[in-house]
Structure 1
Amino acid sequence: MYNVKTFNAISQDGLDKFSDKYQINQIDNPDAYLIRSANMLDADFPENLKVIVRAGAGFNNLPIDRLSELGIAAFNTPGSNANAVKEVVLSMIIASVRHLFPVANFSANNLHADISKMKKIDPRFKGTEIRDKTLAVIGLGHVGSLVANAANDLGMDVVGYDPYLSSDAAWRIESDITRANTLEDAIKDADIITVHVPKNDETTDLIDEEAIKQMKTGVSILNYARLGIVNNQAVVDALDEGKVASYITDFGDDVLMNREDVVITPHIGGSTVEAEGNGAVRGAKIIQRYLETGNLSQSLNLPNMNVSMHSPYRITLIHKNIPNMVGQIATKAADNNFNINQMSNGAKGEMAYTMVDFCDEPTEQLLNDLKSINEVIRVRVIKRK
C-alpha cells in the first residue's frame, strides 16, 4: 500500500485517479506529496518521502536542490493550467483597450449617467478594438503559444519572442505569427505586450526601465507569468510619464496600489475548476507511475527515463553524476551473484538515475552494498505487479 499526503485543496478529479493501492492523508510519513502552492522551501521532509508533485506550472515553492540531496524526485505539471491563463490574458487584453475597468467603476458610482454622452467628455469611454493591433508575446511555451495563436485568430498582428523556443513549441505556433530575434525587435512596435516566461536569473526584471524605453508611447503591459519578471517600479515611473498607458498583472505589489491605470488580479491566472482538475489528474498519474515503475518523464531534478518493466524486480538508484557509477553498481550485483536482465542510466546536471532489472528478489546484502557506494543517495526496490 502506498501513501499520499496532500497540501492545499487538491481537486477530487485527481484524487479519484489513485487506485485502491493508495491511501490519501492517512499518515505523516508518506511515499508522496501532492501539492499546489504550499511553500515547501523550508519544510522538513519525512524519510519515507520519495516523490513530490506540484499540481501546476510553477515550482518556485519547491527546494529543488535540497530534494535532490535527499533523493526525492520532483515534478510539476506544466501546461495543465495553460488554457485558463490564456483565457484570462485575452480577456484582460480586451479590457485594456476598451478601458472596461475604469468604465465599470464609473458606472457603479453613477448609475443614472448617460454613458453615450460621457464619451464626448472623458476619452476613457471611447475604446479601441484589438483587431490589427500589434501584440508582442514574450515566451512561447505552453501559455504563450496559446495566447499568440488565439490573438492571431482574433485578427491581431502577433510578434513572438522566445530565445529558448523548442522544436515542439515551434510546431504549436501558427505560421503567420512573426518571430522576433531579439526582445527589442518584439516590443518596439507593440501596442500590447504580454510576458509568459518562467522566472529565473535571466528573466528577473526582463521588462525594466531600459526595455520600456524601447517601447512606443501608449503601450499596455500584462504580466501573468511571475512577480518580478516585470519591474513594477519601472512600470509605475513609465505610467507617470505617460510612456505606458496601462499595466495589468496577476501579482500584487505595494508600489502598484491605488492607481486607476493599474489592474491587479489576485493570482487567478490558472485558477479555474478545469485547470485545477487537470493539474491534479496529471499529478496523480505521475506519482503512480514513478512509485510503481520508477519511470520518469519531465522531472525537475532527474533525467527522463522510460523503460518497460518486464522482469519481476527493479532497483532504482538516485546518485550523483560522476564517473564509474554504472560500473560500481554492476560490480555489486555480480559480487552478490545477481544477473542483470536490463540496466538503464541517465543524467541531468549533477544528478543521475539508474534502473536495474532482476529476475531474483534483491537481498538485503545487495541493497546494503549498493547503498554503500559513495555518492548513492537513494536505493529503492520495485516489485512488478
Structure 2
Amino acid sequence: MILSKFALKSKQFQQPVRVAMRAFADVEVEHLAGKWATYGDLENYKQGKYQIKTFNKISPVGLSRFPDDEYDIRDQDKEAANAHAILLRSHKLQESDVPQTVRAIARCGAGTNNIPVPRMTELGIPVFNTPGANANAVKELVLCGMLLGSRRIVDGVNHMKSLGEQGLARERVEKDKAMFGGRELKGKTLAVIGLGHIGSMTARDAESLGMKIKGYDPGLSVGSALKLPNTIDLADSMAAAVAGADYISINIPYIKGENGTHGIIGKDVISHFSPDAVLLNFARGELVDSEAMKEFLDSGNGRYVSDFPEDLLWNHENTIILPHLGASTEEAEDAAASMAADTIINFLETGTIVNSVNFPNTSLPDRPEGAVRFTVVNSNVPGVLAKMTEAFAAEKLNILQQINQSRGDIAYNVLDISTEGHDDVLSFKGVQEKITMIDGVVSTRIIYGTPGKGYAKNIEGVYFI
C-alpha cells in the first residue's frame, strides 16, 4: 500500500497527516547523472529522511512538528551537507551555508533581511517567513511603550535606584514623585501607521483602554480591515493620521530603494506631530529619519520609544531605547517556529507554497489516487509550460491537474501525473531529465515515495540529481 500525505488544518497550524491510497504501478525516480558535491559524514547520512539544517536556537515546540520517522534535524553544530531545508532565526545566511540539495528556507520571524533572498530566487529556492506569529508579543510591547512614554517610569526607576544607593529612598519616595508626572492613556488619540497583524491588534486593544484610534494603510486588506475597531478613523494620508495624535505607532515593513520606506517618518511627516506626541517604533529603526526626529525632540516635550538604537537618539533625554524585544517571548518563539516548521513540511510533502517572500502562493488540491506529484521551478519566460506538457505527452503521461503561478522573474508549477495504463514499473527518469534541461528550468521535484529523493537541478547546463 502506498502512503501519501496532505495538509489538514489544526487549531493553529497545518499539520500533515497520513491517508492510505490504493496500490498502483511501481514508480522509479532514482537515476544518476551529475552528483552533489558531498554526502558529508556517511555514518550520519540518513537516506530516506528529510534532513533539516537549523541555525540559532529553534524552539523545541516548533521542532517537534517534524515527525521523527521522516525528518532528521541537524542543529548548527552538526554537519548537514545534504540538507533538504534550512530553518533559522537571526543567523546571517551566506550562500556557502546552502547546499545544492536545499529545496526551501524558512525564517522563524517576519523579516528576512538576514537572508540573501534575490540570490535564493535565482537558485530556485523559496524563502518563507512567519507573518503574524509574533504579532501579539510586539503588540504588547507597543502598549508597554505607550505607558513608558506617558509616565516617565524609566526615569523614576533610575531615580529610586540612585536614592537607594544613598540611603534616601524611603525619605524621598513621596517628596520626589512630582518630578515624574505624566498623563493617562484613556481619552487620548493613537495613530496607527500600518494596519496589518500588529497594527490591527494594537488598534483593537488600545480602543479597549478607552483611546481614540486613527489609522493609515494604503494597502489595507479586507482581512485586516475586519479586525479593526468599528470606531477607527481611517485617514487618507500619513500626515492626516498623525495630525493631532498623542501617540503614533508605526508598524510597516522596511523596504530599501526607490519608493521604499527608508526614513519615511521624516521632516514632512514629523512636522504634523503634536508638540508632545510619543512616537513608538517597534518595526525598524531605519523607518525614522534620526536627524528630523532629534530636531523634534529638542524642540518640545515629545518622546521616542523604540527597540532599535540609533547613534543620534539613544541617549537623548526624551528617548527610551530598549533591546530588540519585539518577539522575545516564549509564546512568540514557539508560534513562529511551529509556523515555519509546518510551512516547510507542507512544501516538502505537497509542494504547497504559502508565506513565501519570493515565490508565488501556490496550492493544488490533494493528489488524486493513482497520481504522482511533479513540481517545476523555472524562469518566468514564455514557452516553458508548453515544453513541459509536451514532454509528458511524449511519454504518454496524462496530467490530471496542474497549477502554474508566477511572481516577478520566477514561476512555479505543480502537476499531478496519472499512472493509469502503466502496469509495470513507471519510470520518470527520462521525462524528469528532459524537463529539467529545458531552457529556463531551474529545478524539478517528484514528490513520491522515499522522503528526500526525486530532486533534480539544471546547474549551468549540467543535469544534477
TM-score by length of 1: 0.95
Q: 1:307-349 deviations in whole A, cap 9, x for unaligned?
A: 1212431110011112222211100111222222222211112
Partner of 2:232: 177
Helix, strand or coil for the counterpart of 1:168? helix
User: Residue 298 of structure 1: CA displacement?
Assistant: 2.4
Q: 1:132-154 deviations in whole A, cap 9, x for unaligned?
A: 11111110001011111110110
Partner of 2:340: 283
Name which of 91, 97, 111 aligns with 2:144.
91
User: Residue 43 of structure 1: CA displacement?
Assistant: 4.6
User: Residue 233 of structure 1: CA displacement?
Assistant: 2.3
Helix, strand or coil for the counterpart of 2:286? coil
Residue 383 (str. 1) matches residue 448 (str. 2):
yes
Q: How many residues of Structure 1 are paired with residues of Structure 2 in the alignment?
A: 381
Partner of 1:250: 307
Partner of 1:76: 129
Q: 1:196-236 deviations in whole A, cap 9, x for unaligned?
A: 00111422111112211111111111110012011222212
Helix, strand or coil for the counterpart of 2:136? helix
User: Residue 42 of structure 1: CA displacement?
Assistant: 5.4
Larger RCO, structure (CA 8 Å, separation 6 or more): 2
Residue 190 (str. 1) matches residue 245 (str. 2):
yes
Listed as ranges, the matches of 1:140-159 within 5 Å are 140-159=195-214
User: Residue 119 of structure 1: CA displacement?
Assistant: 4.1
Once residues 172 and 227 of structure 2 are traced to their aligned partners in structure 1, the CA distance between those partners, rounded to angstroms, is 46
Residue 205 (str. 1) matches residue 254 (str. 2):
no
In terms of Rg, which structure is larger?
2
Q: Percent same amino acid among aligned pairs?
A: 37
RMSD: 1.5
Name which of 17, 21, 24 aligns with 2:70.
21
Contact (CA 8 Å) 1:119, 1:126: kept in 2 or not? yes
Q: Mean alpha-carbon deviation: is it higher for 63-72 or for 110-119?
A: 110-119
Name which of 209, 223, 241 aligns with 2:281.
223
Partner of 2:92: 39
Q: Mean alpha-carbon deviation: is it higher for 102-111 or for 77-86?
A: 102-111
The 3 A distance-change label for structure 1 pair 95 and 23 is same
Once residues 355 and 129 of structure 2 are traced to their aligned partners in structure 1, the CA distance between those partners, rounded to angstroms, is 8
User: Residue 384 of structure 1: CA displacement?
Assistant: 6.0
TM-score by length of 2: 0.79
Listed as ranges, the matches of 1:294-313 within 5 Å are 294-307=351-364, 308-310=366-368, 311-313=370-372
Helix, strand or coil for the counterpart of 1:3? strand
Once residues 316 and 326 of structure 1 are traced to their aligned partners in structure 2, the CA distance between those partners, rounded to angstroms, is 12
Q: Mean alpha-carbon deviation: is it higher for 62-71 or for 79-88?
A: 62-71
**Partner letter of residue 175 of structure 2?**
K
Unaligned segments of structure 1, at least 5 residues: none
**Partner letter of residue 36 of structure 1?**
R
Unaligned segments of structure 2, at least 5 residues: 1-48, 420-425, 451-465
**Partner letter of residue 345 of structure 1?**
N
The 3 A distance-change label for structure 1 pair 70 and 95 is same
User: Which aligned runs of 4 or more in structure 1 are off by greater than 6 angstroms?
Assistant: none
The 3 A distance-change label for structure 1 pair 42 and 136 is farther
**Partner letter of residue 359 of structure 2?**
L
The 3 A distance-change label for structure 1 pair 44 and 6 is closer
